[in-house]
Amino acid sequence: MAKEKIPGVSRELLEKCVRCGSCRTVCPVFNVTREEPSVARGKIFLANMINQGVVELDREAAHFFNLCTTCLRCAEICPVMVDYEKIIIPARSLAVEKFGLSPEKKAAVKLFSHRKLLETATKLSAPFTKLLPKSSQSSQNRLLPFKIPKLGKVLIPEPKAKPFNDRDKWFKADKEKGKVVFFTGCMFNNFYTQTAENVVKVLNALGYSVFVPKEQGCCGAPALFSGDLKTFERLKEENFKVFKELKEDFDFAVTACATCGHVLKSFYKSFPYSVKELIEVLFENIDKIKGWKYPQPIKVTWHHPCHIVRGQKIPRNYPIDVLKALQNVKFISMEEADNCCGMGGSFKLSYPEISRKIQLKKAKNIEATAADAVSTECPGCVMNIAEGLERVSSKVKALHIADLLVECEK
């Protein structure tokens, strides 16, 4: 048998895992499947066997490497701090080189990695999607008019005929204290354009003038986390070029998508600007936010996106302190607030039934808070949580934090 190795993954890294099983206690996928290869310990053992030439990377092994939401709960709880992300992404990369992407991942990567193709697709589909009923939990999403067997209600983001970054745009603050450049990401550009506008309004209210470059594209997360590293590197270089050629001296780049923020900070080395997640900017300006008042009393709980608390390691108190600072807002804590919602990017497409079980657990935890709304800072989480709330017939709204803050009297 020819010996193949997972690129960039050393024996030292793999054997750092002491197989204690701590990851089994927190892995959302293992909690559903109860199969050892579903958890980080099993995947690391499998990767080690491949690198030693004991087993081949066959299609079954590739399946188990993909059976992961990359929520990083395993890395967070690991007592010896195994860097799981440095194993799972190269393992998927080798699988892609050998077998190619699965049909659903291939379609997603192709769509999101070609800006013009995505803009054309959203423009053509927008009129038809408007015919679908709006989600009662999230106004920028639509419901399919029928239930899918084994899944139930299915929610899709509403495509927009005109992208948010249809041209280079400046949004000037009345009392400017700084200038920032907004890395919007493909979900805000093509689906959640109202939330993108609300992000800008919130930043303007804090005193930041905001510039949105037209030529920016997808951060590359769909390709990166699927193991298509060639496509990811292309997208990274394209974005590097756009931001490097900007003439203004911006204070920092801001993103309001947890995954975009994680990718920019962890995988875009030497990015032209320092990167801040919106919640970091909000926390830094909490004294000003204390003067903001929601129009009527509202109870709000918070879902911690995986790529904020673990990917970017942003402290969990940041969003909670911001919500507590708002007048007329009562923060309600939630059980397992930092557990994965089940989205996991294309994981939801590849393993919809497993994703649904993780999603429903999150939805039930939200429902148990008796909050009026659940807020978060990830468009994927908003969409997936809203779908879960639809499936349990909840009245709780799912809101990006910018959509909540924009309603406040300032």
Q: What is the pLDDT of residues 262-273, one digit of tens each?
A: 999 999 988 999
* Residue 240: pLDDT band with limits 50, 70, 90: very high
CA 328 to chain centre: 29
Mean pLDDT in residue range 280-302? 98
pLDDT in tens, 248-266: 899 999 999 999 999 999 9
Q: In the prediction, which pLDDT does 410 show?
A: 85
At 174, the pLDDT band (50, 70, 90 cuts) reads very high
Radius of gyration of the chain, Cα coordinates, nearest whole angstrom: 21
Model pLDDT, residue 136: 85
The CATH code of the domain at 283-405 is 3.40.50
Span of 19-23, 121-125, 135-139, 333-337 with lowest mean pLDDT: 135-139
Mean pLDDT on 302-317: 98
Confidence check: pLDDT of 350 > 90 = yes
3-state secondary structure the chain: CCCCCCCCCCHHHHCCCCCCCHHHHCCHHHHHHCCHHHCHHHHHHHHHHHHCCCCCCCHHHHHHHHCCCCCCHHHHHCCCCCCCHHHHHHHHHHHHHHHCCCHHHHHHHHHHCCHHHHHHHHHHHHHHHCCCCECCCCCCEEECCCCECCCECCEEECCCCCCCCCCCEEECCCCCCEEEEECCHHHHHHCCHHHHHHHHHHHHHCCEEEEECCCCCCCCHHHHHHCCHHHHHHHHHHHHHHHHCCCCCCCEEEECCHHHHHHHHHHCCCCCCCEEEHHHHHHHCHHHHCCCEEEEEEEEEECCCHHHHCCCCCCCHHHHHHHHHCEEEEECCCCCCCCCCCCCCCHHHHCHHHHHHHHHHHHHHHHHCCCCEEEECCHHHHHHHHHHHHHCCCCCEEEEHHHHHCCCEC
Q: Is there a contact between 376 and 382 (Cβ–Cβ < 8 Å)? A: yes
Burial class of residue 204 (count of CB atoms within 10 Å of its CB; 0-12, 13-18, 19+): middle
Contact (CB, 8 A) for 204 and 210: yes
Q: Which one is predicted more confidently, 107 or 270?
A: 107
pLDDT at 191 over 70: yes
Q: What mean pLDDT is predicted for residues 161-174?
A: 96
Q: What is the CATH number of domain 11-99?
A: 1.10.1060.10
Average pLDDT of span 364-385: 98
Which one, of 255, 247, 250, 167, lies nearest residue 219 by Cα?
255
Model pLDDT, residue 4: 87
Query: Residue 303 in contact with residue 366, Cβ under 8 Å?
Result: yes
Mean pLDDT confidence for 340-358: 96
For the segment 58-75, the average pLDDT, to the nearest whole number, is: 98
In the structure, what pLDDT confidence band is assigned to residue 2 with cuts at 50, 70 and 90?
low
- Arithmetic mean of pLDDT, 60-68: 97
Q: Where in the chain is the domain with CATH 3.40.50.1860?
A: 169-282
Given the structure tokens 């450049």, which residue do they identify? 181
Is residue 138 within 8 Å of 170, Cβ to Cβ? no
> Contact, 143 vs 153, CB < 8 A?
yes
Q: What would the mean pLDDT of 359-386 be, rounded to a whole number?
A: 98
CATH of 169-282, one of 3.40.50.10600, 3.40.640.10, 3.40.50.1860, 3.40.50.300: 3.40.50.1860
Whether the predicted pLDDT of 1 surpasses 80: no
Q: pLDDT-derived band of residue 179, with 50, 70 and 90 as boundaries?
A: very high
pLDDT average, residue stretch 96-122: 97
Q: State the average pLDDT for the chain.
A: 96
Q: Is the pLDDT of residue 162 over 70?
A: yes
Residues in the chain, overall count: 410
Percent of the chain with pLDDT strictly greater than 90 = 96
